[in-house]
Amino acid sequence: MNLDPIIPFEPITSEEIPQGSEWISQIKWDGVRILTYFNGQDIKLYNRKLNERTNTYPELKNINSLTSAKSFIFDGEVIALDHKGKPSFHEVMRRDGIRRMERVNDIAKEVPVYYMIFDIIFLNDEWINEYSLKDRLDLLLNSIEPNKHVQIVPSNSDGHSLFEVAKKHDLEGIISKNLNSRYIIKGKNLDWRKIKNYKDLIAVIGGVTYRGGIVNSMLLGLYDNNNQFLYIGHVGTGKLTRTEWENLTKLMEPLRTNHKPFANHPERVNKVQWLQPLLTVKVQYIEWPKDHSLRQPSIQAFVDHDPKNCRLSES
């Protein structure tokens, strides 16, 4: 039996935490969305863009040993922790970004990962995505025995209290879900709502500045509805190490151009090296005042994202 990878159901950003007996909330883990497929013989892992990650996370390749199910599809988030024990997108991208598979075992020792499962959409050769979330969660709890690297995400009936916990521990936020909701493949609606503790976006790099021959800051942009590439701010702080800045400098070389890619005029143009807008980066920020640039942006990690999908209307 073949299980072709699917595009997962997505939450919609919301400012309000829904209330009522039909709603539960879960911590929003700052990781990589991964679906796990078991057809009765082989385990396969795919991300939301349908890129295979089976060999990237060897810790999860025997997940079928934790269940008696003869086939399944689990949906969850692969996370890694920083030195304080907090989920770190930067750390998990050190694992997800590996392309030379011979390095996986060494990196796995440095950056262990954990799989936080929050849904099940296929079980024992049957699609159950049309079941209610309540029924799916019951089946999930009865389908797998967690271990050190595989956990089931707890649900909380009090979204407001859980959001306070997320704020207290500086976590990304929460996801609130309607217990009556179906799992719509390649869909999104307000049955799942993400409420963020902090703001983030994926932006495109349109220029860089240097210090001592090494890139030390980036000029960021997004596309508007007219496909104009607009400058939104610069970022030079975050979680990148010296080695990562040096590697970034080498990566930028083929993208150098004399043409300013931005349609508007960046606030910092002194000694800027323009780049073709092809690389994308996830940044956090405190505030984005209207008609001004991002306030206190911080680099989280480089991500594999289509630059043309980095748009003002979606940030």
Q: What is the pairing mode between strands 114-123 and 72-79?
A: antiparallel
Token couple for 120: 């099940």
Which pair of tokens denotes residue 273? Answer: 């090296």
Local confidence pLDDT in tens for the 315 residues of the chain: 788 999 999 999 898 999 999 999 999 998 999 999 999 999 999 999 999 999 999 999 999 999 999 999 999 999 999 888 889 888 998 899 888 888 888 899 999 999 999 999 999 999 999 999 999 999 999 999 999 899 999 999 999 999 999 999 888 899 999 999 999 999 999 999 999 888 889 999 999 999 899 999 999 999 999 999 999 999 987 778 888 889 889 999 999 999 999 999 887 667 899 999 999 999 988 778 777 788 788 898 889 899 999 999 766
- Tokens coding 105: 């075992």
Superfamily name with CATH number, domain 199-314: Nucleic acid-binding proteins (2.40.50.140)
Listed in order, strand segments (DSSP E) in the chain are 10-13, 23-27, 32-38, 43-47, 72-79, 114-123, 126-127, 150-152, 173-178, 188-196, 199-211, 214-223, 229-235, 256-257, 273-275, 280-285, 298-303
Q: Please check whether residue 83 is in contact with residue 49, taking contact to mean a CB–CB distance below 8 angstroms.
A: no
pTM, full prediction: 0.77
The pLDDT value given to residue 268: 65
With contact defined as beta carbons under 8 Å apart, do 74 and 36 qualify?
yes
Rounded distance, CA 232 to CA 204, Å? 10
Helix and strand counts by DSSP (H, E) for the chain: 5, 17
Domain borders along the chain are 10-196, 199-314
Fold of 10-196: D-amino Acid Aminotransferase; Chain A, domain 1 (3.30.470)
